[in-house]
Structure 1
Amino acid sequence: MPPVRTWTNPFAPIEGEVAMSEWERWETRFGAPGYLFGTEPNAFLKRHAHLLKPGQKALSIADGEGRNGVFLAECGLDVLAMDFSPTALVKAAALAKERGVTIRLERADLETWQWPVNAFDVVVAIFIQFCAPALRARVFDGIKRALKPGGLLLMEGYGLKQLEYKTGGPSQVENLYTRALLEEAFADFSSLEIEEYDAAIEEGDGHGGMSALVDFVGRK
């Protein structure tokens, strides 16, 4: 069994985390049979696997049931996958065991998580748009701290047109990405590539159909 950090009561909300109603909502979603977003990696992440190198240390933010963290481990990376749902982490551990890889799992709330400094070669942030602007700014700053110099950030989210498609993601326009927002937030990166486009995605029952996507590839 891949190692999972333990807690005194893993089904109790941790200090300072989001309101219980939000916690319960995700626990209910992840508690349903199967894997909410499927077990295959995000297509954007898979397309950029050529940028990954075995032995690199990787952080997968809000990794849910483990599909992306497990994929990183399958690519030979040393992976820490974090999420605030204990039910999701149990499923992630099961998926890693099924795939024959080891990942480190940590239950954490992005509101209060202490970001390490220069700790990761790769950070992956796929559809973390539950983050409202104030939290998003702190998360982006945390990502910058956590990446080593030259480290790689792979991030995908929904763009503004997603409000028309309504095939997943937040309903709050301020939570969505734009090129200008990301260029400003990561203006201090040594390089960045941003692509905005529409495409049909199929990621379990959680994400499906035509979607407005924003892909970000950056180097600290």
Structure 2
Amino acid sequence: MRKPGNDRLGETQRRHWQQTYTAHPDMYGTAPSAPATHAAELFRSAGARTVLELGAGQGRDSLFFARSGFDVAATDFSPAGLEQLTAHAAESGLTGRVTTLLHDVRNPLPLPDDSIDAAFAHMLLCMALSTEEIHSAVAEVRRVLRPGGTFVYTVRHTGDAHYSTGIPRGDDIYEHGGFAVHFFGRALVEDLATGWDLREIHPFDEGDLPRRLWCVTQTVPWNT
């Protein structure tokens, strides 16, 4: 059961992202993120055809996956972000390859078991989610992935310059400029890989601060 404080923070973050996407179309640009280009190579080598993106936002990575030949289910809790994604897909002739789903990652995914080949989440899991909610979200990804399916996700970690600064929200969550971030320790990454095959934990930097992140790759065992 979610705690009332977590629900209030989550709703505040939903409104903040909605306002941000509305005020700043293409705030991250249209080029794919480096983790998305890395993930696409992994997905292709694994023979994936379908990709689920959690926290797709305005869609730069979902559209890249679609241009790369994957059928994409793009989820986000911001209608504004998904509306912009849908418009860009239409402009690019990718409507047939991209499906959008309005979805809060704290809730179960509206997808059947074993229905997706690969999943991607760039900084979604390090949003304003409790450790319990993060575990539930990853369990949902595992449920919808087929055996052998690949999950690539990125998170800001406790080596980041913003860790333990700003407004503390508990559970290693700190707020800066209206954005709440859950910073990951190595133990949390390893806990989330329980029941998976953990393939890689790759550190990288992004942005001008820079943000310090891990790119994590884990797969569903074939013998499940």
How would you bin the TM-score normalised by the shorter chain? 0.7 to 0.9
Aligned length: 197
Output the TM-score relative to the length of structure 1: 0.79
- Pair 1:125-2:132 in alignment: no
Higher RCO structure, 1 or 2 (CA under 8 Å, sep 6+): 1
SS for the counterpart of 1:209 is: coil
- CA deviation map 1:170-215 (0-9, x unaligned): 9762522233221222132134211234x2x24xxxxx43121111
> Aligned with 1:106: secondary structure?
strand
Which letter maps to 2:192?
A: A
Pairing 1:105–2:100 present? yes
Match of 1:186 in 2: 193
Extract unaligned runs of 5+ from structure 2. 1-6, 174-181
- SS of 1:65's equivalent in the other structure is coil
Q: Is the 8 A contact 2:119 2:151 kept in 1?
A: yes
The 3-state SS of whatever aligns with 1:150 is: strand
Alignment of 1:124-143 (within 5 A): 124-128=120-124, 129-130=126-127, 131-143=129-141
**Unmatched segments (≥5 aa) in structure 1:** 1-15, 203-207
User: Partner residue of 1:159?
Assistant: 157
In structure 2, the residue matched to 1:52 is: 43
RMSD: 2.7
User: Is the Cα–Cα contact under 8 Å of residues 113 and 144 in structure 2 kept in the other structure?
Assistant: yes
Deviating 4+ runs (over 6 angstroms):
none
Q: Which moved more, 1:46-55 or 1:175-184?
A: 46-55
Q: Deviations over 1:20-55 (max 9, x none)?
A: 433321111010133122222111121332222376
Within the candidate set 127, 144, 147, 1:146 is matched to 144
**Cα distance between partner residues in 1 of 2:148 and 2:85:** 29
Which residue identity lines up with residue 211 of structure 1 in the other structure? R
Aligned identity (percent) is 24
Of 76, 80, 84, 1:91 maps to: 84
- Give the 3-state SS of the residue equivalent to 1:48 in structure 2: helix
Say whether the 8 Å CA contact 1:18–1:109 is kept in structure 2: no
Change (3 A) 1:82 1:97: same
The residue number in structure 2 matching 1:12 is: none
Aligned partner of 1:65 in structure 2 is 58
C-alpha distance in 2 between matches for 1:209 and 1:46: 22
With normalisation by structure 2, the TM-score equals 0.78
Return the letter of the residue paired with 1:143: V
Residue 17 to residue 41, structure 1, CA distance change in 2 (3 Å): farther
